[in-house]
A and B are shown apart, each in its own frame.
Chain A
Amino acid sequence: MPLGIALAPVALALGYLAHTVGLSWWLMGLMSAVVYAGPSQFIAMGLVATGAATPAIVATTFVVNLRYTLFAASLAPHMRDAPGWRLAPLAHGLADGSYAITIDHAREHPESPRKDLYLLGSFIVSFGIWVPGSVLGVLAGDVLPATLAFGLGFATPAVFIALLVPFVRDRVSLVVMLVAGLGTVVGNEYLPTGAGPLVAIVAASILGGALLSRRAPR
């Protein structure tokens, strides 16, 4: 539930951005419902603003969202007890926020059954905020003062600072965080759009895994 409230300003910020590039409210709603992947939607708005062609936007979306494949790989071992067919439609709900709180839940309660239902619940709340929130952002575009929009723009960093705090508790996790974060920033400067986060996440995770394996040989 707190996740849903945290999503609202981010959705509004997305809608506000869409308004500035001239997207209509119903297209925004459709996009939020069927794509349902915040960061790639923000990037798509940026690409629309620079006049990028459709194939470029689709290709960038694919690369940016490949991190969901990593998320899926990290959640899948916790969802072995779910009926197999259910995870296929539920995969659509695997967004950043839902992944974050579901993996958090799995880490704190490894023994609790049916974590797919937890993902489902977070999806319903998130989806219910995300779609109308982004539509509202477009509609409010004309009346929202720039100062407030600036604050809304900081909602995403603020949420991820909060999410990182419980995870970063030793030197290895600190290294992983810094390598992934700074690697993404550098990658965004020098790699094709969207490739930076992917390369940085993979590299930092392998590095962290290797550091842990060296510390605790099996």
Chain B
Amino acid sequence: MAAVTYLTRLPLWFLANRPTTPSPGLARVVEQIPIAAFAAILFPGVLQPGGSTSLDPSNLYLYAALVTVVAAVMVRGRLLPTLAVGTATAVVLRILFGS
């Protein structure tokens, strides 16, 4: 696991030492990578807790995510308050409605 993971990261080294600059079209694609990557971690985290898709009303992470999005926009994406509101909401929902 360690070796193959390092292998995926090593391009940071040789890509930075390549003198050529990418074409504007390719640069626009690369600019989208962070948004796409964050979404690819976020959506399954909420919609597939525990590995299987759950759009059921009993999936409490759905409600916690809605509350957290509102909170994140209000604090303009600051990490700590968003995290605090998110985890606290999940805990409260679990206490109120969890099984």
Contacts and interface: CB of A to CB of B under 8 A. Distances in A.
A and B form one complex: yes
Interface of A: 2-3, 5-6, 9, 31, 34-37, 39-40, 44, 46, 57-58, 61-62, 65-77, 79-80, 82, 84, 87-88, 90-92, 94, 96, 99-100, 103, 147-148, 150-168, 173, 176-185, 188-189, 196-197, 200-201, 204-210, 212-213, 218
A107 to B, nearest CB: 9
A158 B35 contact: no
Interface of B is mostly: helix
Given A180-B40, A201-B37, A212-B31, 17 more contacts: A2-B79, A35-B2, A40-B1, A58-B1, A73-B30, A84-B17, A88-B10, A90-B12, A162-B83, A164-B72, A176-B32, A177-B35, A201-B40, A209-B25, A209-B26, A210-B29, A218-B25
Contacts of B40: 67, 180-181, 183-184, 196-197, 200-201
Contact of A176 (B35, B77, B88): B35
A76 B22 CA distance: 11
B87 A9 contact: yes
B83 A9 contact: yes
B15 A165 contact: no
Contacts, number: 286
Given A161-B86, A218-B24, A201 B65 contact: no
A39 B46 CA distance: 14
Contacts of B34: 74, 99-100, 103, 167
Interface residues of B, number: 71
B14 to A, nearest CB: 8
Given A61-B5, A158-B86, A176-B36, A39 B65 contact: no
Nearest to B74: A165
A61 B2 CA distance: 9
Residue from A84, A156, A161, A180 having most chain B Cβ neighbours under 10 A: A161
B18 to A, nearest CB: 8
Contact of B8 (A39, A66, A79, A166): A66
A189 B46 contact: no
